[in-house]
């Protein structure tokens, strides 16, 4: 008998709502169906403005919270109809919500995801789990990244040095080295600056196949300037987001440079690949075992990023997670279905070594 959960994710790129139907039975995690529903331009614009300006009115914040809750609910109901799913068979929905600010350091750490889960539960009629990050933070953790626990559940292999790399708006790694504690953290930007820069210059949402970046040349001086950011010197556990890496940050870095827009795009690709490779090259691996880098997220579809990773990481076989049977587009949605399963069964779903929490806990709040 199937044990069905739905996972919902809208990430830093804000390009859409990813939904996955997952069966979690007999120790196996099986993705059954998935789809992506576009983020309406009006909502995306409001979210980007909020994340960039870091200022808002309470009414605007409340309205966005409501709009996102309705968007998630509508997308889930559409997904259920399209895939002829019996709602009564769904144990729970796991919805990450949209991060608008993540500040795990400082005297008053906090993180904020919006998208009212009460609305999702009411509109779908299905128990919904949300607010996954704050309990980890309540126990002293970063509240991120959360997917390494899921990556451990599906990819840990005693015969392989494995790193799972998610290149969304922000890039994060899960390090699965045999006989070592699992660690994971954000390496820095993924697509967030690439998407923002091409949108500003060409009014496109992303650089398809990295073609625009390929038309430019990497500027090594700018690359060094970008890499000279305090975040990259911090030890793990650590996490970041749009509150640091955004077009305002980039514009400040570009002040003393007179470069073509495409040269800047090419340098941003190298920046993403370089900061990822720098972290992976620091790892202590089992020298006698093969090394596999499994890539997922939107960046897995950028051949220029994948090519640069292969060059910068010669010891590593660079693959997408598709070769392991997990669609690279669906990884995080599947992960939040699994996190919902853990919460419904009161199972620990964070890894203290990853987040810095002082104990393992079952993450998420149940809305019915």
Q: Which two tokens stand for residue 57?
A: 């009115």
Tell me: is residue 65 an annotated ligand-binding position.
no
User: Is 27 assigned a ligand-binding role in the annotation?
Assistant: no
E strand or H helix at 113, and its extent?
strand 110-114
pLDDT at 1: 78
User: How confident is the model over 291-316, as a mean pLDDT?
Assistant: 97
> Residues 39-61: pLDDT tens digits?
999 999 999 888 878 888 999 99
Per-residue pLDDT for 324 more than 90? yes
Cα within 13 Å of Cα(328), Cβ side: 20
For residue 238, give every residue at least 6 positions away whose Cβ sits within 8 Å of its Cβ, in sequence order, or none.
142, 185, 186, 231
Q: Which residues, 6 or more positions from 145, have their beta carbon under 8 angstroms from its beta carbon?
A: 166, 172, 174, 184, 185, 186, 239, 354, 355
**16 labeled binding residue:** yes
pLDDT of res. 359: 97
Residue 186: predicted pLDDT:
94
Q: What is the pLDDT of residues 108-154, one digit of tens each?
A: 999 999 999 999 999 999 999 999 999 999 999 999 899 999 999 99
Q: What's the CA dihedral at 244, 250, 252, 256 to 10 degrees?
A: 150
User: How far, CA to CA in Å, does 247 sit from each of 130, 172, 254, 362?
Assistant: 29, 20, 10, 36
| 297 appears as a binding residue in the annotation | no
More confident residue, 27 or 164: 164
13 marked as binding residue: yes
User: Would the pTM of this model clear 0.85, i.e. be above it?
Assistant: yes
pLDDT value of residue 307: 98
Beta bridge partners of 41: none
Q: What is the DSSP letter of 182?
A: -
Q: What domains sit in the chain, N to C, each tagged with a CATH number?
A: 4-144+331-367 (3.30.420.40), 147-324 (3.30.420.40)
Q: Known binder of ligand: residue 12?
A: yes
């Amino acid at each position: 008998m199937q044990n069905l959960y739905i996972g919902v994710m809208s990430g830093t790129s804000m390009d859409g709502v990813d939904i996955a139907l997952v069966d979690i039975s007999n120790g196996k995690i099986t993705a059954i169906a998935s789809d992506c529903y576009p983020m309406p331009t009006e909502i995306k614009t409001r979210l980007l403005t909020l994340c960039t300006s870091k200022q808002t009115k309470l009414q605007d914040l409340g309205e966005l919270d409501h709009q996102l809750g309705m968007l998630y609910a509508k997308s889930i109901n559409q997904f259920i109809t399209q895939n002829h799913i019996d709602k009564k068979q769904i144990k729970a929905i796991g919805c990450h919500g949209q991060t608008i600010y993540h500040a795990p350091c400082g005297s008053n750490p906090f993180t904020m995801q919006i998208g009212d889960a009460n609305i999702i539960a009411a509109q779908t009629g299905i128990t919904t789990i949300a607010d996954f990050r704050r309990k980890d933070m309540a126990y002293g953790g970063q509240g991120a990244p959360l997917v390494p626990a899921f990556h451990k559940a599906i990819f840990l292999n005693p015969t392989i040095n494995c790193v799972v790399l998610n290149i969304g708006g922000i890039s994060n790694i899960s390090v699965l080295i045999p006989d070592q504690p699992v660690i994971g953290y954000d390496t820095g930007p993924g697509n967030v600056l690439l998407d923002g820069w091409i949108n500003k210059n060409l009014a496109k949402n992303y650089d398809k196949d990295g073609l625009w970046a390929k038309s430019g040349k990497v500027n090594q001086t700018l690359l060094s300037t970008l890499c000279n950011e305090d975040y990259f010197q911090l030890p793990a556990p650590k996490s970041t987001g749009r509150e640091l890496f955004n077009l305002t940050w980039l514009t400040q870095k570009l002040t003393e440079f007179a470069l073509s827009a495409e040269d800047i795009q090419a340098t941003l690709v190298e920046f993403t690949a370089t900061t990822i490779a720098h972290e992976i090259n620091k790892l202590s691996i089992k020298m006698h075992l093969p090394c596999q880098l499994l890539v997922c997220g939107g960046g897995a579809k950028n051949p220029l990023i994948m090519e640069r990773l292969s060059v910068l990481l010669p010891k590593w076989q660079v693959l997408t997670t598709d070769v392991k049977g997990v669609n690279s587009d669906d990884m995080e949605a599947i992960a939040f279905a699994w996190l919902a399963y853990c919460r419904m069964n009161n199972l620990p779903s964070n890894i203290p070594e990853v987040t810095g929490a002082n104990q393992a806990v079952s993450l998420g709040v149940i809305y019915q």
